[in-house]
Structure formats: structure tokens, C-alpha cells
Amino acid sequence: MYHHLEPDGAPITPYAIPAGVFATHLEVLRSAGFVTLSFHQLFEVLEGKRKRPAKAAVLTFDDGYESFRTLALPALVAQGMTATVFVVAGAIGGVNHWDLPQGYPRRALMDEVALKEIVAAGMEIGSHGWAHRDLTACTESELAEEFVRSRQEIRDCLGIQADFFAYPYGHYSRSYFPLLERAGYRGAVTIFSDEPTVTHARYAMRRVLAHAGDTAWRFRLKLSPLYLHYVAWRDRKGGRGNAAR
């Protein structure tokens, strides 16, 4: 899971990875024999409608930064790979306003034209909610805005169905699962999760954070089944998943 990419040589800021490090990750994936899948494709595999690749990864980018279009997209296209971008539907063409009170840098988000460009290049779009709120602090009507209005906006703006949702800050509750299903989503991704495997609960799929310090060998380690078992064990033991039920 990625957020923002910085041009090589720029100072490293929170939640950012240099473009060169991201290119290294793609090179590691390619040389290790991984193919990338969208969530739609992953679900086709799970439903037996698509052949299961020997090694597959779903790459995700949260928030929908302009840096995805300028830095990540060319690297992905060069490798013949795809990613899923979770956009904040109420901030298309805006900035990461939710980060500013914490003192994080102001970053441009993709506008409608940029999003259409990445869709045309084969990227998948998911919803990251309407206003990037911590859902566990939301009222019922705010939750509806995050789940229903965001999906509606993506449909109106881009003419596509967002079938997958990414919880802002990874905070979620099991009580959201039926709300998401009713809103038309087929799955949702978090960061930490109590679930034993990534796809055990379709509305709480765990992701692995990619860091600026993930060198080729560290990234390779993170791709191993052993590492996935380790994070599953760690999240269950530490009670990090399902912070709010």
C-alpha cells in the first residue's frame, strides 16, 4: 500500500516514497515472477472465473495524489502493471485538507481529467470515502455520505462503478460490512486486521505498508507468504485489527 511519491532527490516527507524506490519495488515484483491484479480481477480469481496466477499482488494507492499520475503511472505502464487508486470523492481536484492540521505537506489530488487518464491507462478506481473522516467517529448520516455519496460521485464524475472501499486511517468496524454491501461495494481494504488471511473477510482485507526504507531485499521479504503469516499473527496477538467493533 502506497500513498504519495516524491521525485528522486526531493526531501522525504511523511507517507511518501521516492519514485526510484517505487520503481525498484516494481522491478522486484517483475523479477520474482509476480503479476499485478485489480480487485475486480482478484475477486474473479476467488470466484473461480479467472485462472489463479502463481504469484500475484494488488498494488494500492490511497488518497489519489497527482503524483500517482506523474510518477507512479509511467513506472507501472513501463512494467505492464496496474494499481488501484482509492480516491477521496469529495476532494477530487483538491488537496489533502485532512492532513494539514497535523502539519503534513499540502499535496495536490488528481482532478477529473487526470483520473480519466489513469483509468484509460488500465488503472482501477476505488472509493476512499467522501471527506477522509475517521469513520469510527462518524454519525449515521456521515457514514452514509462516506459510503453512498462517494460512490455516487465517482459514478457521476468518471462514469465508473467503485466496487471497493479503503477505510481512511484503516479504522473500521464490523458493523460497516452490511452498510458497504448495501451501498454496492464488493469488498474493502484496511491496514491492520484480525482476520487470519487477506481475503478471509472481504470487507476487511489487510494490506502491507510500503516504506521509503524498503530496499529491494526488504521489499522481497514483504512479498513472502511467511511475512503475510507473520503480520496476521502480529495483528491478532496485538489486537491491532478491528479497533472499534
Residues of the shown chain interacting with Zn ion in the complex, contacts defined by CB under 5 A? 62-63, 168
Q: How far apart are the first and last CA of the chain?
A: 24
Please, which residue, 34 or 145, has the CB nearer to Zn ion? 145
Please, which residue, 69 or 128, has the CB nearer to Zn ion? 128
Least separation, in Å, of the C-beta of 145 and Zn ion?
A: 16
Least separation, in Å, of the C-beta of 92 and Zn ion?
A: 14
Least separation, in Å, of the C-beta of 63 and Zn ion?
A: 4
Least separation, in Å, of the C-beta of 227 and Zn ion?
A: 23
Task: Find, among 33, 99, 101, the residue nearest to 63 by Cα.
Answer: 99
Please, which residue, 28 or 69, has the CB nearer to Zn ion? 69
Q: Can you say how many angstroms the Cα of residue 120 is from the centroid of all Cα atoms in its chain?
A: 19
Whether 87 and 64 have beta carbons less than 8 Å apart is answered as yes
| The C-alpha cell that represents 175 in the structure block | 458493523
Least separation, in Å, of the C-beta of 147 and Zn ion?
A: 15
Whether 34 and 81 have beta carbons less than 8 Å apart is answered as no
Least separation, in Å, of the C-beta of 77 and Zn ion?
A: 24
Task: Find, among 145, 72, 74, 63, the residue nearest to 106 by Cα.
Answer: 63
- What is the spatial distance between Cα 178 and Cα 164, in angstroms, rounded to a whole number? 14
CB atoms within 10 A of CB 106: 9
Please, which residue, 43 or 61, has the CB nearer to Zn ion? 61
Please, which residue, 41 or 60, has the CB nearer to Zn ion? 60
Amino acid at 3: H
Contacts of 80 (CB under 8 A, 6+ apart): none
Please, which residue, 17 or 28, has the CB nearer to Zn ion? 17
